[in-house]
Amino acid sequence: MTENIKLARVIIHTFLTFRGVFDKDIFDTELAINEAIANIIQHTYKGEPKYVVMTLNWIEPNEMEVLLRDFGPKVDPSKIKSRELDDIRPGGLGVYIIKRIFEVMEFRDVAEGNLLYLKRSFIIPPKKPEE
């Protein structure tokens, strides 16, 4: 499943590079989606190799929507939270990272499984005139 996370990062990187997004914003977005997919694998699928459907939508001029759909047991969104930042130990900061990078993080109701909806806007640098 980790190779699928790597593939998702390559897709996100290519998608945002094509849109002219700053490298730092691309990295942050990759990191947040990496965390979201890792959480699905770890908490919803309990490490079992199942699939996650990732959909990327670009909304002109500068917004991106990400939909992550899984087919595991329903999650209770009220129980999904980050641990306290002063609790220094590995793990547990994925939700914190996602909420820092994306302006919207919400679970949408679906008949089976879960649908995580993420949305953020970017500052897009002006295009250089072609020579």
Which domains are seen in the chain, by residue range?
Answer: 2-121 (3.30.565.10)
Q: What is the pLDDT along the chain (131 residues), one digit of tens a residue?
A: 578 889 999 999 999 999 999 999 999 999 999 999 999 998 899 988 788 999 999 999 999 999 999 999 998 877 766 655 555 544 567 888 999 999 999 999 999 999 999 999 999 988 777 65
Secondary structure of residue 95 in the 3-state scheme: helix
